[in-house]
Amino acid sequence: MITRKRLAAGVCGLLATLAVGLFPSGAAADAADAEPSSGPAPKVDLVLDVSGSMRTRDIDGQSRMAAAKQAFNEVLDAVPEEVRLGIRTLGANYPGEDRKLGCKDTRQLYPVGPLDRTEAKTAVGTLAPTGWTPIGPALLGAAEDLEGGDGTRRIVLITDGEDTCAPLDPCEVARDIAAKGIHLVIDTLGLVPDAKTRRQLTCIAEATGGTYTSVRHTDELSGRVSQLVDRAADPVVTPVATEGAAQCTDAPQLRPGLYTDREEFGEHRWYRVDVPPGRELRASVSIAADRAVDDDYGVLLRAVTVHGREIVRGAEAGNGRTDVISTGLRYPKPPLDDEDDANGTGEPAAETVCLEVSSSFSAPDAVKKTPGLPVELAIDLVEGPDEASDVAAFGLGRGWWPLAVLALAGLLTGLLWGWISRWRVAVWRTH
């Protein structure tokens, strides 16, 4: 006799089989076969504010300190093996009113090196909100923590307020660190920040080519810190400054790489990329809100031909919970054939693709509109998908058969579920 459990198992098995067929595991196998990097070990120093204001309970119903501890535990569990990580505190030890002593209150909680996750978690668990906010001295201490070696170096500063130890301006400290040419990047995260804190943390990050992020939820904090730690393990790419044009014909020609620009509110900027036959264009854009902006905004990235016909687009919307919004697109250029032969020479004829970046940011009248918002544009040209491969079927304009299979799977599932329902009713009536 067929039971309900067996029927449910059969339905799950059918869907699992379809999923395996639709989404091959080749990418996972490739990742598993990848060899670990043998380059210099990247270093990261997490600098955590433990000042008295971290007692404030406004992050998911708990204190800022509790949210930071929870996020740190999640981050420490996910640190890549090759990363040498350390933790430094500021405002964790001196509870008094003596400014001179309070502004020296920064220490290395866990040394930069191979990570013992249990030991690091235990150290973080002992912290309690205590004193001042000496951001400048903490940054100087973190720079010393990261000395030596040829790997990438990154400071991740997490604080809920601006520095309380002027005249040692932390923004000037960051500029001095950048001027040393030691390729040290400082990323800043503001926990429920006010306008002054936001300006100061943005200045610190921009001085070293880092990023600033506003955080209001625990998952945002753990996700962003984990992302920055992972980024330290990636090769350093220095963005190239460029300036988009008002129309495609005047746009700068971009090669694969990372580019930065500034875009005014409501402005459209154009760039050009040559895509050879058999190659796939992959482009992504991120726009950062480095000042107070209105809630509800979006970013649009379009690829069009030189004649104005849209090829593909990517779009994303935000609602004020994040300071960076991103989107991307892919466009595979078909391989060379006889019609593409440039003057019979056999040379591939590249197609010029115009990329348009636009956004829907707005801001209160009191906010300065210039300079424009920072834009980061990534361009890559990779080998196009093989026409005979499974992955090729998911390329743009060739996704009809997966949709048909999914529709068939939905139909079969619906029929099976209907049969199960009628069988249950029949069984219930017989009893």
Q: Give the side-chain half-sphere CA count within 13 A for 186.
A: 31
Tell me the pLDDT of the chain averaged across its residues.
82
Between 386 and 25, the higher pLDDT residue: 386
Distance CA 107, CA 37 (A): 31
List CB contacts of 200: < 8 A, sequence separation 6 or more. Answer: 135, 162, 163, 170, 171
Please name the residues in contact with 313: beta carbons below 8 A apart, sequence gap of 6 or more.
300, 301, 302, 303, 329
Domains of the chain: 43-232 (3.40.50.410), 246-387 (2.60.120.380)
Alpha carbons 336 and 24: distance in angstroms, whole number = 27
Q: Is pLDDT of 12 > 70? A: no
Tens digit of each residue's pLDDT (9 = 90 or more) over 23-38:
444 433 343 343 444 5
**CA distances, 425 to each of 418, 419, 430 (Å):** 11, 10, 9
Higher-confidence position of 299 and 10: 299
Q: HSE of 147 in the Cβ direction (CA atoms, 13 Å)?
A: 8
Q: Is residue 400 predicted with pLDDT exceeding 60?
A: no
Query: 3-state SS of the chain: helix, strand, coil percent to 5?
Result: 35, 30, 35
Please classify residue 377 by burial: count the beta carbons closer than 10 Å to its beta carbon, then call 0-12 exposed, 13-18 middle and 19+ buried.
buried
Q: What is the pLDDT of residues 201-222, one digit of tens each?
A: 999 998 888 889 999 999 999 9
pLDDT value at position 38? 57
Contacts of 187 (CB under 8 A, 6+ apart): 154, 155, 156, 157, 205, 210, 211, 212, 213, 228
Q: What percent of the chain has pLDDT over 70?
A: 79
Residue with tokens 């039971």: 3
Tell me which of 119-123, 175-179, 323-327, 414-418 is least confident: 414-418
Q: Report the pLDDT averaged over residues 169-193.
A: 88
In which band, very low, low, confident or very high, does the pLDDT at 398 lie, cut at 50, 70 and 90?
very low
pLDDT band at 365 (very low <50, low <70, confident <90, very high): confident
**173 Cβ contact partners less than 8 Å away, ≥ 6 residues apart:** 136, 139, 140, 204
Instruction: Tell me: pLDDT of 341 over 60.
Output: no
Band the pLDDT of 158: cuts 50, 70, 90: very high
Average pLDDT for 144-166:
90
What's the whole-model pTM score? Answer: 0.54
The predicted pLDDT at position 406 comes to: 67
Residue 309 pLDDT level (bands cut at 50, 70, 90) = very high
Q: Which are the contacts of 335, defined by CB distance < 8 A and separation ≥ 6?
A: 277, 278, 384
pLDDT of residue 397 exceeding 60, the answer is: no
- Rounded-to-integer distance, Cα 260 and Cα 245, Å: 13
**Beta-carbon contacts of residue 7 (< 8 Å; ≥ 6 apart):** 416, 420
Q: CA–CA distance from 12 to each of 303, 412, 419 (Å)?
A: 40, 12, 15
Report the distance separating Cα 404 and Cα 94, nearest Å: 66
pLDDT tens-digit series, residues 235-270: 656 678 899 999 999 999 999 999 989 899 989 999
